[in-house]
């Protein structure tokens, strides 16, 4: 029995069904299902939304990161600085191109990479940094960019932060490339996988366009070895519909967050949004005592919740060869043990929201 799901995509679909069905129908009638007009259109719309000249639709957010690294020639022997407290794909893209992730611990308040610890991670092999805008809030780019000082590439993992701003700048537009995901659980999600890279750099954009189609401009002649990673045309058509709702959805998430903040501040550490940040609250993440017991309590009460992320990336078995150990990044390790994500989706009803609040209060009163 689920009284409040963590995310209710059915509620969203019910509202959009006529528009989405028409968009899908149009693609099917045209049978231009790979790239073509629907992808061109979404790429134009997103480029306009972001105020950048280039937006390239790709198969997933994971591939957006991989293609950005490939197109910037990051390769074996290179190092890429990033956070250990993020979704797996941030680091797996680095591993995929044969480079090493050099992790830097997080700021325990925002859960984003701590700029004060970046300088000591830079070596002659550093080729890029991937700041992740976690849970919908931008990393401290204002501090990060002067440390990088143009010496290596800045690739933003904005998969969770579409529309978030930092000192008035939009997530994904502050580095050489901004990577987005249209996975259904993101603020702008398709009906399946999808992703996008945005950039102001025409040469980079052209290279990513080439790499996403096996390194070929056509006629079975291949300039280089790319991959097959195109944004699906049906996904693009659906996303063109959904993007018109994005600002309103993020506004409603922010409203839910404000209610939770007030109701829960006395018993948990509510999200800390830095003064010059506007979060889009892809996740609403609390730091709480007795986290695992709270998760069990909420589950038994039919309230969806999740732990993002239970095992920091430096401790993942597959990255053993990078040589990290428990204790290397204490703030990330502590966050992995103490945080919990609550339902924050735009369609969350007042009643559902209150049920979440009541159950959390009940748990700590009983405990
Ligand atoms: C979702 C996500 C990705 C990967 O996106 P997919 O579309 O699922 O491949 C990468 N980084 C972060 C931070 C994410 O949240």
Q: How far apart (Å, rounded) are the C-alpha atoms in residues 356 and 342?
A: 8
Q: Residue 51's domain is classified under what CATH number?
A: 3.40.640.10
Determine, yes or no, domain membership for 149.
yes
67 Cβ contact partners less than 8 Å away, ≥ 6 residues apart? 56, 58, 197, 208, 211, 212, 227, 229
Any atom of ligand 1 within 6 Å of the Cβ of 235: no
Residues 240 and 252 in one domain: no
Mean pLDDT, residues 26-34: 95
Residues 205 and 80 in one domain: yes
Determine, yes or no, domain membership for 321.
yes
Cα 61 to ligand 1 centroid, rounded to whole Å? 5
Q: How far apart (Å, rounded) are the C-alpha atoms in residues 308 and 135?
A: 9
Does residue 156 register a pLDDT over 90?
yes
Helix (H, G, I), strand (E, B) or coil at 202: helix
Determine, yes or no, domain membership for 2.
no
Mean pLDDT, residues 123-137: 98
Ligand 1 atom at minimal distance to the Cα of residue 194: 7
* H-only helix segments in the chain: 9-30, 37-50, 61-71, 88-96, 141-148, 202-211, 233-242, 246-264, 291-300, 330-338, 350-366
Per the structure, how many domains does the chain have?
A: 2
Determine, yes or no, domain membership for 97.
yes
Helix axes 350-366, 246-264, angle to 10 degrees: 30
Mean pLDDT, residues 116-134: 98
Residues 257 and 213 in one domain: no
Query: Which residue, by CA, sits nearest to atom 7 of ligand 1?
Result: 61
Does residue 1 register a pLDDT over 80?
no
Residues 45 and 62 in one domain: yes
Cα 181 to ligand 1 centroid, rounded to whole Å? 6
Residues 237 and 315 in one domain: no
- Residue that terminates a domain, selected from 182, 215, 244: 244
Q: What is the pLDDT of residue 359?
A: 97
Which of 57, 83, 87, when mutated, tests ligand 1's pocket best, judged by the most ligand atoms within 8 Å of its CB?
A: 87
Determine, yes or no, domain membership for 4.
no
Cα 267 to ligand 1 centroid, rounded to whole Å? 31
Any atom of ligand 1 within 6 Å of the Cβ of 229: no
Any atom of ligand 1 within 6 Å of the Cβ of 115: no
Determine, yes or no, domain membership for 121.
yes
Asked if the peptide bond before residue 266 counts as cis, ω within 30 degrees of 0, the response is: no
Residues 142 and 273 in one domain: no
Q: How far apart (Å, rounded) are the C-alpha atoms in residues 190 and 35?
A: 15
For 166, phi and psi rounded to 5 degrees? -140, 115
- Residue that terminates a domain, selected from 192, 222, 244: 244
Determine, yes or no, domain membership for 239.
yes
Query: Which residue, by CA, sits nearest to atom 5 of ligand 1?
Result: 61
Mean pLDDT, residues 357-364: 97
pLDDT tens, position by position, 266-300: 999 999 999 999 999 999 999 999 999 999 999 99
Q: What is the pLDDT of residue 185?
A: 97
Does residue 113 register a pLDDT over 80?
yes
Residues 155 and 239 in one domain: yes
Any atom of ligand 1 within 6 Å of the Cβ of 183: yes
**Residue range of the domain that includes 322:** 245-366
Q: Give this prediction's pTM.
A: 0.98
Whether the Cβ atoms of residue 148 and residue 175 lie closer than 8 Å to each other: no
Query: Which residue, by CA, sits nearest to atom 14 of ligand 1?
Result: 159
Residues 208 and 257 in one domain: no
Cα 88 to ligand 1 centroid, rounded to whole Å? 8
Residues 229 and 250 in one domain: no
Task: State the pLDDT confidence band at 366, using cuts at 50, 70 and 90.
Answer: confident
Q: What is the pLDDT of residue 184?
A: 98
Ligand 1 atom at minimal distance to the Cα of residue 86: 13
Residues 174 and 316 in one domain: no
The percent of residues above 70 in pLDDT, for the chain, comes to 100
DSSP state of 360: H
Mean pLDDT, residues 57-73: 98
- Residue that terminates a domain, selected from 192, 215, 244: 244
Any atom of ligand 1 within 6 Å of the Cβ of 107: no
Q: What is the pLDDT of residue 2?
A: 75
Does residue 332 register a pLDDT over 90?
yes
Determine, yes or no, domain membership for 166.
yes
DSSP state of 221: E
Q: What is the pLDDT of residue 224?
A: 96
Cα 283 to ligand 1 centroid, rounded to whole Å? 13
Q: Residue 275's domain is classified under what CATH number?
A: 3.90.1150.10
Any atom of ligand 1 within 6 Å of the Cβ of 87: yes
Cα 87 to ligand 1 centroid, rounded to whole Å? 6
Q: What is the pLDDT of residue 257?
A: 98
Residues 234 and 319 in one domain: no
């Amino acid at each position: 029995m689920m009284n409040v799901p963590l995310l209710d995509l059915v509620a969203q679909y019910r509202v959009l069904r006529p528009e989405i069905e028409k968009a899908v129908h149009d693609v099917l009638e045209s049978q231009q299902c790979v790239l073509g007009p629907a992808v061109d259109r979404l790429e134009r719309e997103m480029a306009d939304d972001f105020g950048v000249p280039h937006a390239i639709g790709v198969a997933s957010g994971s591939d957006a990161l991989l293609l950005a690294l490939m197109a910037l020639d990051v390769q074996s022997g290179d190092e890429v600085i990033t956070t250990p407290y993020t979704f797996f794909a941030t680091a797996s893209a680095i591993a995929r191109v044969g480079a090493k992730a050099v992790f830097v611990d997080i700021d325990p308040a925002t859960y984003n990479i701590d700029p004060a610890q970046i300088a000591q991670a830079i070596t002659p092999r550093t080729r890029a940094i991937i700041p992740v805008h976690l849970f919908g809030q931008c990393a401290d780019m204002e501090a990060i960019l002067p440390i990088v000082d143009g010496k290596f590439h800045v690739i933003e993992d904005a998969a969770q932060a579409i529309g978030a701003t930092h000192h008035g700048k939009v997530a994904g537009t502050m580095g050489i490339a901004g990577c987005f995901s249209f996975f259904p659980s993101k603020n702008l999600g398709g009906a399946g996988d999808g992703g996008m890279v945005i950039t102001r750099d025409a040469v980079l954009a052209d290279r990513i366009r080439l790499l996403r189609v096996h390194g070929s401009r056509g006629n079975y002649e291949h300039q280089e070895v790319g991959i097959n990673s195109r944004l699906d045309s049906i996904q693009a058509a659906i996303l063109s519909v959904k993007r018109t709702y994005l600002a309103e959805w993020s506004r409603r998430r922010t409203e839910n967050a404000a209610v939770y903040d007030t109701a829960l501040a006395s018993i948990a550490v509510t999200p800390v949004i830095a003064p010059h940040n506007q979060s889009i609250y892809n996740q609403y993440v609390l730091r709480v005592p007795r986290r695992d017991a709270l998760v069990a309590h909420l589950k038994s009460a039919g309230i969806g919740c999740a732990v993002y992320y239970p095992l920091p990336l430096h401790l993942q078995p597959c990255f053993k060869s990078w040589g990290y150990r428990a204790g290397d990044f204490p703030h990330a390790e502590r966050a992995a043990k103490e945080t919990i994500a609550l339902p924050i989706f735009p369609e969350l009803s007042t009643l559902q929201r209150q049920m979440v609040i009541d159950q959390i209060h009940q748990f700590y009163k009983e405990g």
